A and B are shown apart, each in its own frame.
Chain A
Amino acid sequence: MSLKNVLAVALGILSAIGGFVDIGDLVFNTQAGATFGYQLLWVVVVGVIGIIVYSEMCGRVAAVAKRPVFDLVRERAGFGAGLGTLIASQVVNLMTCAAEVGGVAICLQLLSGLPYRLLIPLAVAALALACWVLPFEWIERVFGYLGLGLLVFAVAAIKLHPDWGRVAHGFVPGHHVGGSLMVYLYFVVGLLGAAMTPYEVYFYSSGAVEDGWGLEELGLNKVTSMIGYGLGGFLSFALMIVAGTLFLPQNIDPQFLGTPPLASADALGQVGLLLALVGILFAVGGAAIETCFSGAYNTAQFFGWRWGKREGHAAASRFTLAWVVIFALAFLVVMTGYDPVKLTEYSVIFSVVALPLTYLPILLIANDRTYMGSNVNGKLANVLGVVYFVVIIAIALAAIPLMLLTNGGQG
Chain B
Amino acid sequence: MSKPVEVDIALGILDHQLVDSEGVNCGKVDDLELTGLDGGSPEVAEIIVGGNAWRSRGLLGRLAAHLSGDAVHVPWSEVESVSSVVKLKRPAAELRLNRGDPRWARLVERVPGS
A82 partner residues in chain B, CB cutoff 8 A: 15
Do the beta carbons of B57 and A75 come within 8 Å of each other? no
CA distance A313 to B100 in the complex (A): 14
Do the beta carbons of A66 and B84 come within 8 Å of each other? yes
CA distance A320 to B100 in the complex (A): 12
Do the beta carbons of B15 and A75 come within 8 Å of each other? yes
Q: B15 is contacted by which of A79, A312, A320 (Cβ under 8 Å)?
A: A79
* Chain B residue at minimal CB-CB distance from A129: B113
Do the beta carbons of B15 and A74 come within 8 Å of each other? yes
Question: Count the B residues whose beta carbon is within 8 Å of the partner chain — how many?
Answer: 36
Q: Cβ of A250 < 8 Å from any Cβ of B?
A: no
A177 partner residues in chain B, CB cutoff 8 A: none
CA distance A132 to B49 in the complex (A): 30
Do the beta carbons of B25 and A313 come within 8 Å of each other? no
Known contacts A83-B60, A317-B107; is-contact A304 B17 (Cβ 8 Å): yes
B55 shortest CB reach to chain A, Å: 10
Q: A314 is contacted by which of B50, B100, B114 (Cβ under 8 Å)?
A: B114
Q: Cβ of A371 < 8 Å from any Cβ of B?
A: yes
B104 partner residues in chain A, CB cutoff 8 A: 317-318, 321
A74 partner residues in chain B, CB cutoff 8 A: 15, 28
Tally of A-B residue pairs with Cβ under 8 A?
A: 92
CA distance A307 to B98 in the complex (A): 12
Q: In B12-36, which residues have CB < 8 Å from any A CB?
A: 12, 14-18, 24-28, 30
Do the beta carbons of B58 and A132 come within 8 Å of each other? no
**Cβ proximity bits B76-114 to A, threshold 8 Å, 1 near / 0 not:** 000000001000000000000010111111011101011
Q: In A300-323, which residues have CB < 8 Å from any B CB?
A: 300, 302-307, 312-318, 320-321
Residue among B18, B58, B64, B109 with the highest chain A CB neighbour number at 10 A: B58
CA distance A289 to B99 in the complex (A): 28
* Chain B residue at minimal CB-CB distance from A133: B113
Q: Cβ of A67 < 8 Å from any Cβ of B?
A: yes
B100 partner residues in chain A, CB cutoff 8 A: 305, 317-318
A residues with a Cβ closer than 8 A to B are 65-67, 71, 74-76, 78-84, 87, 132-133, 300, 302-307, 312-318, 320-321, 370-371
